Structure 1
Amino acid sequence: MEYQNLITIEPGKRSGKPCIRGMRITVYDILEYLAGGMTETEILEDFSELTVADIKACLQFAADREKKLFIVAL
C-alpha cells in the first residue's frame, strides 16, 4: 500500500504531526485506538470520515518509520 497520498504533514496542523488526508486525525490517534483494543470497525463507526484504507495507511506509515529507525541504528 502506498500511504504517501493518504498521510499528510502540515506544519500548522496538529503541530506538524502526520495526519490522515489533511484532517486533524493523526496517525498516532489511530495507532493509539488500535493499541487500546478498538477494532477497525469501531474506529470507522466513531469516525465516519475515515476509510479502511486510512487505517491501513497509518499502520504502513508506522511500519515504515520503525524500519527506518532500525536501519539508522545499524
Structure 2
Amino acid sequence: MKLPGFPRIIVDSALCGGRPTIAGTRVRVTDVLEMLAGGAGTTEILEDFPYLVEADVRAALSYPANQP
C-alpha cells in the first residue's frame, strides 16, 4: 500500500515484515536513515543502492517526521 503523501514509500505485510520500504525495492526506510545517521551522504547511498534516486532518499528522510 502506498502511503498518502509518500508515493515513494510503501508498506506491504509480505515485504520486509511490513516495515516501510522504498517503492519497488526491498530497501527499508530505516536502512536509509541508519546510513544517513552513520554519516553517509546521499551520493554514497545512491552508489550503494544504484536503483534508488535522490527523491527516494529525501522521502525516507521526511517520512518519520510526518508520522503520528
Q: What is the TM-score with the length of structure 1 in the denominator?
A: 0.82
Root mean square deviation of aligned Cα: 1.3
Q: d(CA) in 2 for partners of 1:54 and 1:33?
A: 13
Partner of 1:71: none
Residue-pair matches, total: 65
What fraction of aligned residue pairs are identical, expressed as a percent?
Answer: 42
Letter in structure 1 aligned against 2:21: C
> Which residues of 2 match residues 1-74 of structure 1 at below 5 A?
3-65=5-67, 68=68
Give 1:59 shift.
1.1
Q: What is the TM-score with the length of structure 2 in the denominator?
A: 0.88
> Hey, which of these two has a bigger chunk of helix by percent?
1
Q: Which runs of 4+ in 1 moved over 4 A?
A: none
Structure (1 or 2) with the larger CA radius of gyration = 1
Gaps spanning 5+ residues in structure 2: where? Answer: none
If asked which structure has higher relative contact order (CA below 8 Å, sep 6+), I would say 1
